[in-house]
Amino acid sequence: MQLADRHVLITGGSQGIGLETARLAVARGARVTLVARTEVVLAEAAAAIGHGAIGIAADVTDPAAVETAVAEAETTHGPVDLLVTSAGVSHPGYYEQIPLAVIRAQMDVMYFGTVHAVRAVLPGMLERGSGGLVGVSSTAGLIGVFGYGAYAPAKYAVRGLFETLHAEYGHRGIYAACVFPPDTLTPGFAAENLIKPPETVAVSAGVKPRSAETVAAAIVRGIEKGKRIITADPGTAALAKGGAPVAAVAERQMATALRKHNRRQ
């Protein structure tokens, strides 16, 4: 799917992966709409991108607000040709200690926030017989990771949604893809590092975080090549393509790192 002269709407677009994806989309000639909660940050992001990019404040957990934002975006830039859902939040911790409200909140933002955005743009795409839907999951949407008992299930749900969207709408001209970023250097990642259990730090110590720019470049390349599974690092690519055997190797590596951490303690 080419981005030139397409309307690209990005949720969670005011920072991190979403913002860097927007920059690249604009560079390829797209008309870009950023959707996020904070008006001031959105305005700064849209101004920094330039080229007519607009920011619309909306909480993705509110379906009516998302529908209103999409309608406003389409008034300015025309029908949404490509949706990228990158709104997300992570609150790592020991599962039994994570408040139920936090678990619900992460599912609301990452899964239902994606659902609301997809449902807002999909009818128009089906009517036109074309469009693209790209959801941002995570490496933790491919394999369970210590400390992500709230985050990983939401990302698994995003993965399942986009596999289903492809099965249901691929033959009707709708491109559906899922992105699996590794640890990525974003403001959200910096915040989660402050509260990670030490075991989580230990099992992820061997994983080099990627920059948001690197992940965004992988996303745009994947979209342009029509890939359904988009990754930005070799380890996640192996997990996504290798299935259970590769996951078993990764699980053993994490278990070894955890044992070493426990012995040091």
Q: Which residues are identified as catalytic?
A: 137, 151, 155
DSSP 89-141: ----B-GGGS-HHHHHHHHIIIIIHHHHHHHHHHHHHHHHT-EEEEEE--GGG
Q: Which of 147, 218, 221 is nearest to 180 (CA)?
A: 218
- Contact between 219 and 231 (Cβ < 8 Å): no
Residue 263: other Cβ atoms inside 10 A? 7
The C-alpha atoms of residue 229 and residue 179 are separated, in whole angstroms, by: 6
- For residue 229, give the H/E element and its range: strand 229-231
Q: Concatenated DSSP letters for 22-67?
A: HHHHHHTT-EEEEEES-HHHHHHHHHHH-TT-EEEE--TT-HHHHH
Bridge-partner residues for 10, per DSSP? 34, 84
CA 63 – CA 117 distance, rounded (Å) = 8
